[in-house]
Chains A and B, each alone.
Chain A
Amino acid sequence: MKAYLTYFKLKFISGLQYRAAAWAGIATQFFFGFVYIMVYIAFYDSGGSNLPMQLSEVVTYLWLNQAFLALVNQFSRDQELFKLIKEGGISYELARPKDLYFMWYFKIIGQRLANVTLRFIPLIIVTALLPYPFHFGLPSSFSHFLLFLLSLGMGTLLVTALSVLYPIITLLTMNEKGIVNLIITLADILSGIVVPIPFFPIFLQKISSFLPFQYISDLPFRIYVGNVSIENGLFGVVIQFIWVVLLILFGHFLMKKNLRRVVVQGG
């Protein structure tokens, strides 16, 4: 276990070195945050009825989305792992007396936490000072806030379990585009990063509830704004946990299977 934590630590520490990239990311996220919010304001102003969330909830949700994007999105893939596979550096990792799946799992989680650590605080502080309607609101209650933290932690484990699947698939395809891109695009849409899940048509909400993606960030963010009750939130955390276990088991199995057929490039 210690070795995996060291992987996490090293990746976290080296990830913190990329501060310039983080500032650029923060600027982008402010920009996209404002654009999204203005779209929703126009939408609410045009007098839609039966809307599933209040505008202030949506605004806070969207800022959470931007603040934690580096943690919960799937499109920013860990380039190092893909490089390792495509250029053959994976040889060294395979020659280690540890489980490759968990080495990668802890690398990815370390990278994601480093990225989000550099980004979320300035975004939260600035948006909390903005006037209505751009104001980032407080959690709906203290217990909602605690449940939000728990659920976001679970969501982090979940998004990592999904992200580690992409390099595992690449072991066979030798290309991180193609099928992997297709899955990632669908996954990001279904996770509520583009449009919050409550705005989905009913049938898509049904489908989505049977998939793991909405449990990454949509659930914790809706708990924060109070769109989900404490009981439903706790139930959601249980589902998150089940998905985490299932995906880790599946990823572990898939990696073992793919390693039997792996082609180590070059040399």
Chain B
Amino acid sequence: MKAVEDISFSIDKGEIVGYIGPNGAGKSTTIKILSGILIPDSGQCRIANMTPWKNRTKYVKNIGVVFGQRSQLWWDIPAEDTFDLLKDIYEIPEEEYQATKEDLIQRLNLQDIINIPVRQLSLGQRMRCEIAASLLHNPDILFLDEPTIGLDAVSKQLVRDFIKKLNREKHTTILLTSHDMSDITSLAKRIILIGKGKVLYDGSLKKLQNRYETEKYVFLKTNDTLNIRHKGIKQKTKNKEGYDLVIDTRLLSISDLLNIVSKKITIDDVEIDHEDIDNIIVKLYEDYKI
């Protein structure tokens, strides 16, 4: 059985790429190959001028990996002790290590949790420590495999902001997988969609959104009665305060709609909602039958 096949892409330095696909699509397998953990039966891979599984020891010094579903921290001892171990493993010079550690402690807000045995930390606290542990050696490339899995809204936001800042300030190249599309939308401009081990889409997130986002939801607040029939208005329902419309934007643009409506009635307020990114992904999966 083949886990992944014909997966081809290249990523520029300093890019953040969202790597998405349903469960079992081969996301983690790809990340494991890219981080030198798995050796593919065939194929090529060049990262920073090295083949991950050939120059493994040298190569991995330059990358950081976070597996959201696993832990690299030692359970019985404080995270800081694991950090010290990593310092020796990556042979980080003392001064550089202290500086990086201090910086990460600040950015990820670890002051109060770094000295507590890891088994006593909450998932959000642990994940912040995990991310710090993966970055102590200042890697140029970072692989994040579901880094926000199971986190609450606040922790998620903290992790996202941190990743964004890291990319902006240090130009770290980041490949990110997540099932939480809001992670992807807030971090990645480009996405690669895979399914059944193949690449299905590689391009900007915006373009994908435009392609699938053909419906908009418009709420009109009004006391008047609206009688309207027009192509592009897929649905019209009256509620207490006005009307809910579903618009097909390929047939009728929002400005045209407002033009037409405002001639007929007085509009007190308008709310426009676009399609949820999760729905887009569901549609996308359906289209590709994955």
Contacts and interface: CB of A to CB of B under 8 A. Distances in A.
Interface of A: 2-3, 6-7, 10, 13-14, 17, 87-89, 91-92, 94-99, 259-260, 262, 264, 266-267
Contacts of B90: 96-97
Contacts of A13: 77
A97 B77 contact: no
Given A3-B91, A95-B36, A267 B70 contact: yes
B85 A6 contact: yes
B37 A98 contact: no
A97 B85 contact: no
B25 to A, nearest CB: 12
11 contacts: A6-B88, A14-B76, A17-B76, A87-B70, A92-B65, A92-B67, A92-B72, A97-B56, A266-B69, A267-B28, A267-B69
Given A3-B89, A91-B70, A96 B37 contact: no
B81 A97 contact: no
Nearest to B72: A92
Which 9 pairs of residues, A with B, have the shortest CB-CB distance?
A92-B72, A3-B88, A267-B28, A94-B37, A6-B88, A14-B76, A3-B89, A97-B61, A97-B57
Given A6-B88, A97-B60, 12 more contacts: A6-B89, A10-B74, A10-B85, A87-B70, A88-B70, A89-B71, A95-B63, A96-B90, A97-B61, A259-B39, A264-B38, A267-B145
Nearest to A17: B76
Among B60, B70, B91, B145, chain A packs the most CB atoms within 10 A around the CB of B70
Given A88-B70, A89-B70, A95 B65 contact: yes
Chain B interface residue number, banded: 20 to 34
Interface string B43-68: 00000000000001110110101010
Given A96-B60, A97-B90, A98-B57, A264 B37 contact: yes
B140 interface: no
Interface in B131-167: 145
A95 B88 contact: no
A95 B143 CA distance: 11
B91 A6 contact: no
Given A3-B91, A94-B36, A10 B81 contact: yes
A267 B91 CA distance: 29
Interface in B189-234: none
Interface in B81-101: 81, 84-85, 88-91
Interface in B72-131: 72, 74, 76-77, 81, 84-85, 88-91
A10 B74 CA distance: 9
Contacts of A87: 70
Nearest to B143: A95
A3 B67 CA distance: 22
Nearest to A263: B38
A10 B77 contact: yes
Contacts of B32: 91, 264
Among B36, B56, B88, chain A packs the most CB atoms within 10 A around the CB of B88
A78 B281 CA distance: 44
A179 B116 CA distance: 40
B178 interface: no
Contacts of A89: 70-72
Nearest to B53: A260
B85 A7 contact: yes
A14 to B, nearest CB: 4
Contacts of A95: 35-37, 60, 63, 65
